[in-house]
Amino acid sequence: MNALRSRPDRGDRSDRHADVPRAGGEGAARDFEFTSADFERIRALIHRRAGISLSDHKRDMAYSRLARRLRALGLDTFRDYLDELEKRNDANEWEAFTNALTTNLTAFFREAHHFPILADFVKRRTQPVSVWCSAASTGEEPYSIAMTLIESLGERAARESRVLATDLDTQVLAKADAGVYAYDQVKHLSPERLKRFFLKGTGSHAGLVKVRPELRQMIKFEQLNLTDADYGLRQTFDAIFCRNVMIYFDKPTQAQVLTRFEPLMKPDGLLFAGHSENFTYVTQAFRLRGQTVYELTRGRAAAATSTATAVKPGAKTEPLGATV
Ligand SMILES: C[S@@+](CC[C@H](N)C(=O)[O-])C[C@H]1O[C@@H](n2cnc3c(N)ncnc32)[C@H](O)[C@@H]1O
């Protein structure tokens, strides 16, 4: 039996917000043997389960995060753990396995240039607007979207709009749902935003903030795996945020996800990507409008056709693509 067997899994998620292993954390001395075969097996399983491609340099990360599962379950080897996982096929353990291997780095108004684009865009859309945040992590991104809708459309129209926030990881969704954050995470926001959208914790909650109920009520949080064949969504969206998750997928998986997004976008809808994500080489269904914002290729063509047929000669028209 391993000496660390009785230690509980404290569910410490601090490293989950880092994209690279931390010195002294991931990569520190190992309690369990971790073979190349173990890592290859983990890679194959998480790819099948979540589309995530773990590169070689994620080996320490995989060890560190899953070693916690071995400790929590009192297992001595990765091989035993992976055998159990596959043999028992227990939904809860699969969830823990998947949750352990996601990286959830996010922030309020991350990649800030997208939010004025969204603000401007939604003003020009038929109301109520609908936005899907498809890798919502701990909620900072959908709350930033909801704040932008309120600031841009006003409380009433924003309340009627729909913000769907989904993620594969159930632990991050629970945190997003609670809407409680350390003050440090919001201190860079303007005093107006802080006052309008957050409640400040006092007493035992000092140092924490909670999103105001009005903001929380605008968002529906749900689990959704972007690699599922059918997302079960029966509505279309004015905007889809899919930021900083495609980087974890290989090209065929990215292409599949974009194919599934296509029918879920309203014509002339916008797709927001992360700063290092380029969909141009993956699909012809979307094209870059600028600043990592994409639009449907057919959307613009369809709009051009309908403008040509529907607009009376001499009527004032706005140039297509003027919204970004
Ligand atoms: C690095 S975070 C990005 C969060 C946010 N979009 C942002 O840009 O700040 C990536 C998120 O994608 C989620 N994720 C990974 N694989 C997924 C999948 N197959 N389906 C849905 N979400 C997934 C992770 O759980 C994680 O919360």
List the one residue out of 236, 247, 304, 245 whose CA is nearest residue 270.
Answer: 236
| pLDDT value at 298 more than 90 | no
pLDDT > 70 in the chain, percent: 83
Determine how β-strand 162-167 pairs with β-strand 265-273.
unpaired
Distance 87 CA to ligand 1 centre (A): 27
pLDDT of residue 12: 43
Concatenated DSSP letters for 7-27?
Answer: -------GGGG-SSPPTTBTB
Distance 167 CA to ligand 1 centre (A): 6
User: Which atom of ligand 1 lies closest to the CA of 133?
Assistant: 6
Q: What is the mean pLDDT of residues 137-160?
A: 97
| pLDDT value at 310 more than 80 | no
Of the residues 38, 60, 167, 169, only one is catalytic, namely 167
Q: What is the mean pLDDT of residues 90-94?
A: 96
pLDDT confidence bin for 169, thresholds 50/70/90: very high
| pLDDT value at 20 more than 50 | no
Provide the CB-side half-sphere exposure for 278 (13 A, CA): 3
Residue to probe by mutation, ligand 1, list 168, 243, 275, most atoms within 8 Å of CB: 168
| pLDDT value at 305 more than 60 | no
Q: Tell me how far apart the terminal alpha carbons of the chain are, to the nearest angstrom.
A: 60
Read off the pLDDT of residues 255-285 as tens digits, 9 standing for 90 and up. 999 999 999 999 999 999 999 999 998 999 9
| pLDDT value at 83 more than 60 | yes
Read off the pLDDT of residues 235-263 as tens digits, 9 standing for 90 and up. 999 999 999 999 999 999 999 999 999 99
| pLDDT value at 3 more than 70 | no
pLDDT of residue 8: 33
Q: What is the mean pLDDT of residues 38-54?
A: 97
Of the residues 43, 65, 69, 71, only one is catalytic, namely 65
Q: What is the mean pLDDT of residues 6-16?
A: 42
Mean pLDDT over the full length of the chain: 86
pLDDT of residue 98: 97
Asked about 167 being catalytic, the answer comes back as yes
CA-proximal residue: ligand 1, atom 19 (nearest): 50
Q: What is the mean pLDDT of residues 157-178?
A: 97
CA-proximal residue: ligand 1, atom 13 (nearest): 135
Distance 104 CA to ligand 1 centre (A): 6
pLDDT confidence bin for 16, thresholds 50/70/90: low
Distance, in Å, from the CA atom of 209 to the CA atom of 180, rounded to the nearest integer, reads 6
Identify the DSSP state of 284.
Answer: S
Read off the pLDDT of residues 207-232 as tens digits, 9 standing for 90 and up. 999 999 999 999 999 999 999 999 99
Identify the DSSP state of 111.
Answer: S
Residue to probe by mutation, ligand 1, list 105, 137, 171, 233, most atoms within 8 Å of CB: 137
pLDDT of residue 189: 98
Asked about 287 being catalytic, the answer comes back as no
Domains of the chain from N-terminus onward? 14-101 (1.10.155.10), 114-309 (3.40.50.150)
Q: Is the CB of 17 under 6 A from ligand 1?
A: no
Q: Helix, strand or coil for residue 166?
A: strand
